[in-house]
Amino acid sequence: MAAVLVNAPAAPPANPHYHRLFQNLTQCTTISLPNLKQIHAQILRTVPPPHNFFLYSRLLHFSSLQDLAYTLKLFNQIPSHNTFMYNTVIKAYGHSKDHKEQAFSLFQELLERENLVPDKYTFPFVLKACAYLFAINEGRQAHAQLLKNGFGSDVYINNSLIHFYASCGCLEYARKVFDKMPERSVVSWNAIIDALVQLGEFHEGLKMFVEMKNWFVPDGYTLQSVIDACAGLGALSMGMWAHAYLLRKCEFDPNFDVLLNNSLVEMYSKCGSLRMAVQVFEAMSTREVNSWNAMILGFAMHGEVERVFEYFSHMIDEDRLMPNSITFIGILSVCNHSGLVDRGRKYFDMMVDEYDIKPVLQHYGCLIDLLARNGQIDEALDIVSNMPLKPDAVIWRSLLDACCKNNVDLELTEELARQMMESEGNFCSGVYVLLSRLYASANRWNEVGLIRKLMTDKGVAKEPGCSTIEINGVVHEFFAGDTSHPQTKEIYRQLDDFEERLKLVGHIPDSSQAPMVDDLDDEKGHSLRLHSERLAIAFGLLNSKPGVPIRIFKNIRVCTDCHNVTKLISRVFNVEIIVRDRIRFHHFKSGSCSCKDYW
């Protein structure tokens, strides 16, 4: 907010104090709090109302950047206020850690003042506070007021509206605001693209980016969102294009440079190219803890155990950085992915005892899953019973899954299923799927049928498997049993070839992996062959260049049968296949997997 928003009244005759204070408050960009208090005292002694009005406005502006309590005290002492003053305090509330909800209350107070009206600077401050608090009702009231006050066409306010609705998960409203804007700026486009990406609509975000290029030149913030979308989709070619564009076209300050490089490290890691992630990381002139975290999490995702511990040591010993909560999520997750029980316990204790980091559910979840999957279910249950946080559905699912795999007695397994339902609700498909697999592995097909009927009665739908593959810069999407792709006939012929050649090497389908799809036992193997990653692999073999790895990205965990099949395909067809499921990466080559069959 510029000072010109408040008109300075004529100075009182022959009052040199006013002119000196006026210069102090208009020519300086920052003033320390002790100096502000001195100026405040001088105004009280030497400049009577109404000539002190402008001075108080500037004093309020400087104090709002430093001390909220002093700002509020000063605001309450001023006998009359203008919109600028209200905006200043609303903004201060919005920037505070614990008092953001007061921003809307003060906004309501402004609306109730008969002689004052909000201006175009008021609404972005209010909407930003509402976005932080996910206060959808209050934000919609602010939206109604800005329309009432004639600001519906203001570009900056509409950008704030897009950000607000996106932060509250209301993508439909954010898109409506964008579509109705009579005028758009690069920030407008950045706001809607970022909204789509942050809410997981990666395809739509990239489509909007392609459209934006017809109107505006993208900047660094645009490319930040594009890189995040590529990470979500596993779109390596588009991510590499965005990286190259940044290097050629964009200029940005060093602080933003660190953020972008962190995003690039994360993108390359999530797209399956650890080599490029390391290359970006090692070339960074400045690194902070999030840079190391991005690299450590990347290694953890790919099961690069020793490199995780190596980089963790370098982070502490060479860069002298303190690990944080996210660092230990990476450390504990790689222990979990690799079955390193003793190391997992060691680093969990180190996090608490040496670094005084309070564990969150993700830390507990990694340790509990690690213990349970290694058969130490009693210890895992003991941690669940004694931890200070309420276990979530992910923890209950980990325990339930471990019980199923370790053949724990059915009574305990069913009790865990009940806990999971209570935590996540009866509409969670995961618990039904796990129970059905447990019953299927025990050849208790009647119970499998009952589970399926229960799902139908409650309207619970199993999350459909979806796999994507990028060929020549185009992302292709496949669902289980998909027949919508233009190359469907060729893909299904390739699946037939898979089946025949895998039979020759002795593959027998694991029918426990498909109990939710078919009623008849002899059809279970047929449903397995239609899992989404197999369709994507078949498409990749048909369209990829020889020697180029096939990269598949799946929304759910890879089932045991598909894992076994993919290992065999990598050997029989002499192809490297990289699969990212919901948990981690699997690098299949020459009949083996980087996870060593532990995932």
380-418: per-residue pLDDT in tens? 999 999 999 988 878 888 888 887 777 777 777 777 777
Range with lowest mean pLDDT among 2-6, 237-241, 263-267, 438-442? 2-6
> Residue range 55-63: average pLDDT?
84
Tell whether the model's pLDDT for residue 575 goes beyond 90.
yes
How is the chain split into domains, by residue range? Answer: 466-593
| pLDDT value of residue 435 | 75
| pLDDT value of residue 523 | 41
Give the DSSP per-residue string, 532-553: HHHHHHHHHHHHSPTTPPEEEE
Tell whether the model's pLDDT for residue 278 goes beyond 80.
yes
Q: Do 155 and 188 form a contact (C-beta atoms < 8 A)?
A: yes
Tell whether the model's pLDDT for residue 427 goes beyond 60.
no
> Residue range 222-244: average pLDDT?
92
| pLDDT value of residue 254 | 54
Query: What is d(CA 163, CA 143) in angstroms, rounded to the nearest whole number?
Result: 12
491-530: per-residue pLDDT in tens? 999 999 988 898 888 888 776 555 444 433 434 445 677 8
Could you tell me which of 248, 298, 363 has the C-alpha nearest to residue 585?
Answer: 298
| pLDDT value of residue 202 | 92
Query: What is d(CA 262, CA 270) in angstroms, rounded to the nearest whole number?
Result: 12
Q: How confident is the model at residue 9 (pLDDT cuts 50, 70, 90)?
A: low
| pLDDT value of residue 426 | 55
| pLDDT value of residue 24 | 74
Cis peptide before 218 (omega within 30 of 0): no
Could you tell me which of 524, 534, 525 has the C-alpha nearest to residue 492?
Answer: 534
What pTM, to 2 d.p., does this model score? 0.81
